Chain A
Amino acid sequence: MSDQILTSLGKPLRIAVVGHTNTGKTSLLRTLTRDRRFGDVSFRPGTTRHVEAARLLVRGRVVLELYDTPGVEDPIALLEYLEQQAAGERLDGPARIHQFLDSPLAATRFEQEAKVLRQMLRSDAAFYVIDSRDPVLAKHRDELELLGSCGIPLLPLLNFVADAQAQEAPWREALARVGLHAIVRFDTVAPASDGERLLYEKLSTLLDEHRSTLQALIASHEEDSAGRHRAALQQIAEMLIDVAACRFPVRETSASELEKGVGALNKMIRQREQRCVDALLSLYDFDAEDIEGTELPMTDGRWEDDLFDPETLQAMGVRVGSGAAAGAAAGMGIDLAVGGVTLGAAAAIGALAGGGWQTLRHYGDRLLGRLTGERLLRVDDSIIRALGTRQLQLVQALRGRGHAALTPAAYSQGDDAALWPKTLPRPLRQARNEPRWSELNAAVDITARHDAVMTLLEELQQLSRQAD
């Protein structure tokens, strides 16, 4: 976004969010501001009784001010009163509203509606939020007449369109009859990925002179969203590389040593996964309790199903290798032999040219291991697939949820094929042989690890682009 656009932005745009009581106005604001704690939302009618402002910024400048208003609850009586007051005089819409606001009932019986109308007169435009599950009633029509007479553009917003009981067609017709044809469909519980963009685009058709402001806002949001997604995929890529390259040495292959080693390795992997999950939740600004639920596989921000249980893997569609015996930890691969590595002169020079002294040392370590009888435990491919699958599903769930959702995320599992059913991508295959790429092992080669993570990240980005 160029600085030119930023400096040309004028005063912030003021939008009032109005509508009948309990249509989801505060929810809408929470979604638009990505602020879970804005306002106080529940199902009790008339919950918002005040006018509260929220500001949207782009690069530190306020571009949009949104005002949450109390619900309009008595439009029929109010319209009647307005008409009685203005009887005999030829006043236009805003004039009538001003007359009403000066009258005594604006402070008593119609105090709530007076707040709404006052805010509308102070704003540049208004979002008229409609619960599309409600039938179109006479009181809604009176309400539209009231709000339409304030003299500012009205953009109707059909909320809860994803609900089974929603009836869009009667609403569209009713709105068309009062001249409102530009309508936005929205669902604050599960907003469509381009819902916000369409909202601001339609608004910019109503407010032509503020077009550049709204374009800047849209661009900023898209940048943020793309950046957030990339950061999430990078977290996953880092975790996968760490897990793939992770090694746990055991001195001998006695059963007890192996068991201890396996236990320790599994614990490391679980902790690493948890770190990734915490980072993802925090990246999308969700608390652990937002993903809570009894039927869901997560509790308190942690996955419930044990990663190393063959059933978990099967439920995720990951094929478990033949080495997974019951009792032994599923998915544990034992790197028993360092065999196949010949340190011929050609290989040595190739190693020098390719990776310098590091590679030589690496081969040296493995040879030494062969001599001392040390064995290396590492994680099976199926575990890596499972980790990748469920973390990607989590990201999808987080992306698709608005901040207003009050019910936990419904989350699909088992039906989708697991990631990479045939072979793992190249960076992961390489990572199997590069213990220095894992932060779980002792010494880390930061540069090489970073390169591997970037390559895997591109792979993940491509995957998710295909999935969208």
Chain B
Amino acid sequence: MTKEHNRTEKSPGLPSFSSRWLAEVVRLQEEARPSLGPGPDDAEAERHARAQTQDSEQRIVDRAYFLAERSGALQALLNWRMHARWTLLALAVLATVSGFSAALTVLGDSGRPVNVVWALGALLGLNVLMFILWFLNMLFAGRAAGGSLGRFWLWLSRRFSGSDGVYVSHAFSTLSARAGLTRWYLAAVTHGLWSLLLVAALAGLLIALALRSYSFVWETTILPAEAFVRFVQVIGWLPAQLGFAIPDAELIRRSGVAATGGAGSVTLQSETQRLAWSSWLIGTLLVYGILPRLIALLICGSVLRRALSGVRLDLQSAAYARLAARLSPNSERGGVTDPEPGSLASAKLSSATGRLGKPALLGLELGARSAWPPLVAANVRTFDSVESREQRAAARNRLREEPAARLLVACDSNLSPDRGSLHWLAELSAFAGQTRIWLLNTESTDAQRYASWQESLTDLGFARQQIMVDETAALNWLAAAGTGGADE
């Protein structure tokens, strides 16, 4: 029973995105094998879900958790998540190592002077280009956007997740696509990895600058020196606002190595020169490399966090609509509250004996639709169409005073035969030698209603041939009363 007790807890340990993710996985599994029908756990899962909460989405989630625990889908999801995290970690390590080593490589060994502009390009160039591309992609590709590093990570996770993980990754993509999360988490991963890389590069840069001595030059074959001066100062403006020292124009000019001219006063750069260049390098790396990435990461991260808590299953999609209708039905049967009795005694046909008078033609509830009364032979008594209590009483009294040898009752077969009319027919038959029923309007009656007339009349005691449809035959039978013919 302890197992039972544990099951009554809500889906423990899974935040709202993951629990819905699990629901998606279960749905995909069920859709993949529709012919198998409900499994053995299904009924219990539904009961469990209904017991916990009224909210239909939460019921679906609870049911999915119940089923997934038993079918192994929960384990598959947790495994996939773990694999994804490990992959991310591996990529992070890779990024850190490559950033660090990139910085060291770019600076080179301390023998040769560092081509400072080239070094900047090497450290930042690819990063800035990818960032601009990402930005354009975000603007123009809408929801299909996402950083390429992020896509790479996703692709790697899928590769390592194996066959179990197919549904899990599909469900993940579907849920994210619906919530519009895809581009945000892909971008977050991309920016995160790039930030790591750049921070590692910065660390490498700092360590190298701290422990080795470098000298900085810029080289050119075709560009004028002014271009470089301008470039360095323009680029350095923003870091300067943040407190980094940048080289002044004179220093920049002196650090140049041109095709014409000598080797420049390279080897004997003063401390201030080196410091200035170093700080420029670090500042630009920080401001143009790390900061944009970090800011983008923060933005994507916060959007993601807010969106994650708002992820909902699409209850209006076909699959969930059916499930929600099953778990939270809009109507239910309340059962029989007043059961039907066993068979009750019903009226039966009878006939009169003794002195019988003229034949009678009577209409029951004929309404305005049927032409009444029809032309009859002279010896036949016709009654008006009988409807109300008074008319019934009057007709019965007339018949009681003078019972008929033959009685023909015309009924509209469009109406449904009810117990009241049948009871009254049985009463009437006590005042007639022979009674027959003439069903009118049978051509406009549907087959089932006609059959129900037949059935009710035969239950009453009428034989099949006593139920007439044809007008001539019925009236002829009636007029033939008194000729002593037996009831054929």
**Once the chains bind, are B334 and A357 in contact (CB under 8 Å)?**
no
**Once the chains bind, are B141 and A34 in contact (CB under 8 Å)?**
no
Q: Is A35 an interface residue (CB 8 A)?
A: yes
| Contact of A447 with B177 at beta-carbon distance under 8 Å, contacts A44-B452, A118-B338 already known | yes
What residue of chain B has the Cβ atom nearest to residue A142's Cβ?
B389
Q: Is B164 an interface residue (CB 8 A)?
A: no
Q: Cβ of B173: which chain A residues have Cβ within 8 Å of it?
A: 446-447
Q: Mark A276-289 against chain B: 1 for CB-CB distance below 8 A, else 0.
A: 00011011010000
Q: How far is the CB of A294 from chain B (nearest CB, A)?
A: 17
Q: Is A50 an interface residue (CB 8 A)?
A: yes
State the interface size on chain A (CB cutoff 8 A). 80
Stretch at the interface among A73-81, A338-346, A364-372: A73-81
**Once the chains bind, are A53 and B333 in contact (CB under 8 Å)?**
yes
Q: Is A451 an interface residue (CB 8 A)?
A: yes
Among A35, A112, A135, A230, the residue within 8 A (CB) of B333 is: A35
**Once the chains bind, are B415 and A230 in contact (CB under 8 Å)?**
no
**Once the chains bind, are B337 and A51 in contact (CB under 8 Å)?**
yes
Tell which of B148, B322, B333, B414 has the most Cβ of chain A within 10 Å: B333
Q: What 14 new A-B contacts, CB under 8 Å, besides A137-B387, A283-B318?
A: A20-B416, A43-B451, A46-B418, A52-B333, A52-B334, A56-B330, A60-B56, A76-B389, A108-B345, A139-B365, A227-B316, A282-B318, A283-B322, A450-B178
CA distance A445 to B143 in the complex (A): 12
Among A139, A354, A446, the residue within 8 A (CB) of B420 is: A139
Q: How far is the CB of A154 from chain B (nearest CB, A)?
A: 20
Q: Cβ of A232: which chain B residues have Cβ within 8 Å of it?
A: 318
**Once the chains bind, are A230 and B316 in contact (CB under 8 Å)?**
yes
Stretch at the interface among B202-210, B266-274, B442-450: B442-450
**Once the chains bind, are A135 and B369 in contact (CB under 8 Å)?**
yes
CA distance A447 to B176 in the complex (A): 8
CA distance A426 to B152 in the complex (A): 30
Q: Is B340 an interface residue (CB 8 A)?
A: yes
**Once the chains bind, are A138 and B389 in contact (CB under 8 Å)?**
yes
What residue of chain A has the Cβ atom nearest to residue B322's Cβ?
A282
CA distance A33 to B170 in the complex (A): 36
Q: Cβ of B18: which chain A residues have Cβ within 8 Å of it?
A: none
| Contact of A33 with B331 at beta-carbon distance under 8 Å, contacts A59-B54, A77-B423 already known | yes
Q: Cβ of B325: which chain A residues have Cβ within 8 Å of it?
A: 285
Q: Is B317 an interface residue (CB 8 A)?
A: yes
Q: Mark A230-244 against chain B: 1 for CB-CB distance below 8 A, else 0.
A: 111011000000000
Q: Is A111 an interface residue (CB 8 A)?
A: yes
**Once the chains bind, are A133 and B414 in contact (CB under 8 Å)?**
yes
Stretch at the interface among B132-140, B213-221, B232-240, B402-410: B132-140
Q: Cβ of A138: which chain B residues have Cβ within 8 Å of it?
A: 387-389, 391
| Contact of A52 with B335 at beta-carbon distance under 8 Å, contacts A43-B449, A74-B419, A446-B177 already known | yes
Q: Is A181 an interface residue (CB 8 A)?
A: no
Between-chain CB contacts (< 8 Å), 21 pairs: A32-B331, A35-B331, A35-B333, A43-B448, A52-B337, A53-B335, A54-B332, A60-B328, A74-B423, A108-B344, A119-B338, A138-B388, A139-B420, A221-B330, A231-B316, A231-B321, A280-B318, A352-B133, A354-B137, A356-B141, A447-B182
| Contact of A356 with B151 at beta-carbon distance under 8 Å, contacts A43-B448, A60-B54, A450-B177 already known | yes
| Contact of A57 with B148 at beta-carbon distance under 8 Å, contacts A165-B444, A228-B321 already known | no
| Contact of A51 with B338 at beta-carbon distance under 8 Å, contacts A35-B333, A230-B316 already known | yes
CA distance A138 to B389 in the complex (A): 8
**Once the chains bind, are B141 and A53 in contact (CB under 8 Å)?**
no
Q: Cβ of B336: which chain A residues have Cβ within 8 Å of it?
A: 50-53
| Contact of A111 with B331 at beta-carbon distance under 8 Å, contacts A76-B420, A231-B317, A231-B318 already known | no
Q: Cβ of B392: which chain A residues have Cβ within 8 Å of it?
A: 76
CA distance A51 to B176 in the complex (A): 50
Q: How far is the CB of A50 from chain B (nearest CB, A)?
A: 4
CA distance A280 to B322 in the complex (A): 11
Among A20, A52, A235, the residue within 8 A (CB) of B318 is: A235
The residues in A between 294 and 329 inclusive whose CB is less than 8 angstroms from any CB of B are none
Q: Is B367 an interface residue (CB 8 A)?
A: yes
CA distance A297 to B158 in the complex (A): 45
CA distance A35 to B333 in the complex (A): 9
